[in-house]
Structure 1
């Protein structure tokens, strides 16, 4: 089990779209296109089949919390004459924007949570060490 400081650091890296394992800022080629492995530590981001289900759940939860907050705030502010049609249209637009833009962040958050719950196994540690060794040899020869 990791200590609280380490756990918070891993989660913060996920929230900042960094590799939760090493902190490298490059898990993504661009906003939505994720690399297969971390450029720095070699961590394979998709650790098993169906891995991104957790990221989808995080994305859905955040999207719906934002939607609910907007709905509740608008109803409270405009009560008793709630503008239902504009409220629903804004809510739908917000749902679409938040769901699409937050998904890459949800993916790195999910990797962080998964690393905290299921630390790297021995074979994964050996594999990432070997990839780092090969990378270092390749860059030293250039």
Structure 2
């Protein structure tokens, strides 16, 4: 059997400094988990039995923008975003819990909460971090017509 050739991916597009209006528009699309190019189609596929949770679609159903813009390691930066976000959320919530319960801090409860949160949040947030990375990438490297075919 011969392998089906994959379409060429464009990774060497010009970088661009986004305007405030463009940044806010892309932020709104990210918050709705929509295509960063057109805002029409969802980025995440609907979860079904037998399919992993948080799968990224291949293309936007509205504008046909290919979500994975480069090689197989395109979403590696999403792991970094996921790690940073998880750690910041943990540190913030831990500090708020300590300040809210001072001087009678429930250390045992915080220990169990911290362990559960550090296991669950990265798993649940990873698909969203992929959409965030895609949005940041589109903000800095606008979509070319070749990516819409």
Normalised TM-score (structure 2): 0.74
Q: Give the Cα separation in 1 of the matches to 2:74 and 2:106.
A: 41
* RMSD (Å) for aligned C-alpha atoms: 1.9
* CA deviation vs aligned residue, 1:73-106 (integer Å, no higher than 9, x gap): 2222333443323211101212223212222221
Q: Give the Cα separation in 2 of the matches to 1:73 and 1:4.
A: 32
Unaligned runs of 5+ in 2: 1-16, 48-53
**1:63 counterpart = 2:83:** no
Aligned length: 126
| Paired residues for 1:39-54 under 5 Å | 39-49=61-71, 50-54=73-77
Tell me which residue corresponds to 1:36. Answer: 58
| Paired residues for 1:79-98 under 5 Å | 79-98=102-121
- The structure carrying a bigger helix percent of its residues is 1
Normalised TM-score (structure 1): 0.77
**Mapped contact 1:14–1:110 kept (Cα < 8 A):** no
Q: Give the Cα separation in 2 of the matches to 1:9 and 1:23.
A: 9
